[in-house]
Amino acid sequence: MAARYVRKLAVLAKIETTYADDALPTGAADAMLMTEVTLTPMAGGEESRELLLPYLGNQGVVLTGEHVILEGSIEVAGAGTAGDVPGYGAMLRACGLAETVTAGTSVEYTPISSGFEAATIYYNLDGVQHVMLGARGNVSVELTPQRIPRFRFRMIGMSGTITDKPLPTVDFAVFQTPVVVNKANTSLSLHGFVGPTERISLDLGNSVEPRLLIGWESAEITDRKSSGSATIEAAKLAVKDWFEIARTRQRGALQLTHGKVAGNIVEFLAPAVEIGRPTQGSAQGVANYTTPLSLCPVDGNDELVISVK
């Protein structure tokens, strides 16, 4: 029996026209260049029969609520040309983000509150293919200096087929080589503060539930509470008083831009960020503050916008 190797993996994702109808993604057009991928192929619960018998013993269980969970990361990078759709666009759309293309300029992803799209995802681990149908999920991102930034996806979908299938031939040409987070490549403004930052994370905050009913099964996005966290070098209060901002519940803008060359720029915009209670810490002997972030909408469906330029 030939061994199967975990390093030989292909993940394909394509937006469905009809919910949970296989969109038939291909390696040539829909391959996802991912890292740190895990699959839970038979997530769900168990129902015990609880039979009363004239003897003791394990009666076994019935498996219930079967669905699939896929988690994995994709590097934060552009599409090669400003205005082209990035390779991971289908994944963002399946996380409740609408895609707007401005030719030659940018592709923008904005939150929506209805009409959520879903994706078919193929997960092929060295010759065994798992199919997820109607997949929807959540996305988060973390930027840490001297590291490659990555989107982190958690997708929930309905169970499709599991079959022996040769690994597809994949095309990753649209995925660009990322740049590391540093002073040259990355800029951040939070409530007007542009000082040294040790880490920032953002989370779209979707609640995704498998809804398994008589006559209907789906993965539903039922709520969204966008949030984040920033660890910032602790300036004097005369420079920035984070405590007063938190206490008075002021809202201010966040603009985070990664990349400097057109075609490989990703920007995160949040117009109304509330600062939570700062906690004091240190790194390399320098004092810092870690502040929770609440990303609030202004006009609706605008609390976190991702722009690929």
HEC string for 132-172: EEEEEEEEEEEECCCCCCEEEEEEEEEEEEEEECCCCCCCC
Written as one letter, the residue type at 152 is R
pLDDT at 132: 98
CA angle 27, 139, 245 (to 5 degrees): 155
The pTM (predicted TM-score) of the whole model is 0.96
Inter-residue contact 72 to 140 (CB < 8 Å): no
Contacts of 238 (CB under 8 A, 6+ apart): none
Cα–Cα dist 90/27, whole Å: 14
- Tens-digit pLDDT profile for residues 230-242: 999 999 999 999 9
- 3-state secondary structure at position 92: helix
What's the pLDDT score for residue 1?
78
117/135 Cα distance (integer angstroms):
9
Low-confidence residues of the chain: pLDDT under 50: none
